[in-house]
Amino acid sequence: MKKLKKISKVISTSLALSLVLAACSDKEEGSSNSGGGDKDEKVKIVYARGKDDTQGTTAMVEAFEKKYPNIDVEFKEMPADTGKQHDAYVTAFNANSDEIDVIDLDVIWPAEFAQAGFLMPLDRFIEKDGVDVGAYNEGAISAAKFKGKQWALPKFIDAGMLFYRTDLVPEGEVPKTWDELLAKAKETKGQGGTQFGYLMQAKQYEGLVCNAVEFIASYGGEIIDENGEVKVDSPEAIKGISKLVEIVNSDVVPQNITTFAEPESHTAFINGQAGLIRNWPYQYALANDESQSKIAGKVAAAPLPAGDAGSAATLGGWMAGINKNTKHPEEAWKFLSFMAGEEGQKIDAIKGGHAPTILSLYEDEEILKANPYYKDEGFVKALEAAVSRPVAPNYPEISDIIQVQVSQAIAKKITPEEAAKNMQKEISEKLEK
């Protein structure tokens, strides 16, 4: 448990930073009825989230409906691109839509959505059912707290990691630096049926921000520091951006790597097209699923390669919240609390490969059997290397700036130095508004 406490402390520190928001909404929780009526009446709730390429969501919903036969859960698939997903929710909720009852939220969204009045506070449900919020990772649970209220419950924790094929990369040869990664990727390209050496996410979307944060932090740079000061125009940040640009333009990645988000990269990896990939923890379960992976049983995890300042992993994760305008708050809560509770997280960890936010689940033998690397030093070190994305009350605008400037640098329309200078200027202007 010492390792788990250490992980909790690290993630708590990182996620706590992401809660710094400015103005608060004065909107109060609106009144709504349960819509349940007779306890035997069938109620349908709509659950929205991005595409799930694992079996986690399906298995979890089936288990819930078996336990609560009077509640049907309809899955509404949202765009895989988190930016587009975010915008779709904002559009719907600004129109006071009640079409969706329960939604998944990126770890960077809860406070923004709460401030906008999109979510229903969960405190009365938590108190009524005696939910032990202390059982959750402290940082994960606090990331969904805003203005003294709990707006969501954390489902799983993410951190960027390096996954590699053990038949191509022996344990003692796992790259520990970005330069070693390039060398190993060139060496393994073409071996074992591969077409590429390395896979990542370089499309202009939120995933590119995550990759950029990792490169910048691994060289000792920051985009915004803990005091809210913009620091991206620094030698360290420029060196990180330069290394990212170098790898994306190398011959070890697909020529169309700038179209790759998570689905494209993980699909290529499980089809045996590369020996190394940067992705989130779910990659392990997906790559070892014999029903869809050609490399099952040949995958291991390690921390991302280090720059001058060491290894860095962007901290991520997803939570679940309730639409303030839902007509079925009681049923929505039953589903949310099941999904984010021990039963739902266990199913998702086993079937979906997602790292739990309830710490006791890391001692569950069935979960460890499905995800043996949860016990490995590489997994622990990857989480220990977690860093938050830039902290800002208007994060989506900051993210857009980073995406555009890094993409321009990748396309060699501007230099890494110019990208850093442009980000420094534009982000500073956004924060001054």
User: 48: helix, coil or strand?
Assistant: strand
Q: Compute the C-alpha angle 42/63/357, nearest 5°.
A: 120
Check whether 12 has a pLDDT greater than 80. no
Check whether 136 has a pLDDT greater than 70. yes
pLDDT band at residue 40 under the 50/70/90 scheme: low
Q: What is the average per-residue pLDDT within 121-129?
A: 97
User: 177: helix, coil or strand?
Assistant: strand
User: 26: helix, coil or strand?
Assistant: coil
Determine the length of the chain.
433
User: 166: helix, coil or strand?
Assistant: coil
Cβ pair 261, 81 in contact under 8 A = yes
Burial class of 358 by CB neighbour count within 10 A (0 to 12, 13 to 18, 19+): buried
Q: Identify the weakest region by mean pLDDT among 27-36, 101-110, 258-267, 343-352.
A: 27-36
Placement of tokens 């809560």 in the chain: 333
Token pair for 15: 């996620």
Beta bridge partners of 400: none
Domains of the chain, residue spans = 2-158+316-387, 159-314+390-432
Task: Give dist(CA 349, CA 368) in Å, integer.
Answer: 9
Query: pLDDT per residue over 85-101, tens digit each?
Result: 999 999 999 999 999 99
CA nearest 280: which of 389, 379, 370, 388? 379
**Helix or strand run (H / E) with residue 62:** helix 56-67
User: Cα 231 from chain centroid?
Assistant: 24
Topology alike, domains 2-158+316-387 and 159-314+390-432:
yes
Check whether 19 has a pLDDT greater than 50. no
Query: pLDDT per residue over 59-92, tens digit each?
Result: 999 999 999 999 999 999 998 888 899 999 999 9
Query: pLDDT per residue over 141-174, tens digit each?
Result: 887 888 889 999 999 988 899 999 999 999 899 9
Phi, psi at residue 261, to the nearest 5°? -105, -165
Q: Could you give the count of Cα atoms lying within 13 Å of 327 in the half-sphere of its Cβ?
A: 11
Q: Is domain 159-314+390-432 annotated with CATH 1.10.3720.10?
A: no
User: 61: helix, coil or strand?
Assistant: helix
Beta 313-322 vs 386-387: how paired, if at all? parallel
Mean pLDDT over the full length of the chain: 89
Check whether 23 has a pLDDT greater than 60. no
Query: pLDDT per residue over 338-384, tens digit each?
Result: 999 999 999 999 999 899 999 899 999 999 999 988 887 777 777 77
Task: Give dist(CA 311, CA 426) in Å, integer.
Answer: 28
pLDDT band at residue 315 under the 50/70/90 scheme: confident
Provide the pLDDT for residue 382.
75
| pTM of this structure | 0.74
Instruction: Determine what percent of the chain is predicted with pLDDT higher than 90.
Output: 70
- CATH fold group of domain 2-158+316-387: D-Maltodextrin-Binding Protein; domain 2 (3.40.190)
Provide the pLDDT for residue 395.
86
Provide the pLDDT for residue 304.
96
Provide the pLDDT for residue 95.
97
Task: Give dist(CA 150, CA 105) in Å, integer.
Answer: 13
Task: Give dist(CA 119, CA 44) in Å, integer.
Answer: 19
Q: Where are the beta strands (DSSP E) in 250-353?
A: 276-279, 299-302, 306-307, 310-311, 313-322
Query: pLDDT per residue over 187-222, tens digit each?
Result: 999 999 999 999 999 999 999 999 999 999 999 999
Query: pLDDT per residue over 265-309, tens digit each?
Result: 999 999 999 999 999 988 988 999 999 999 999 999 999 999 999
Query: pLDDT per residue over 223-249, tens digit each?
Result: 998 788 999 999 999 999 999 999 999
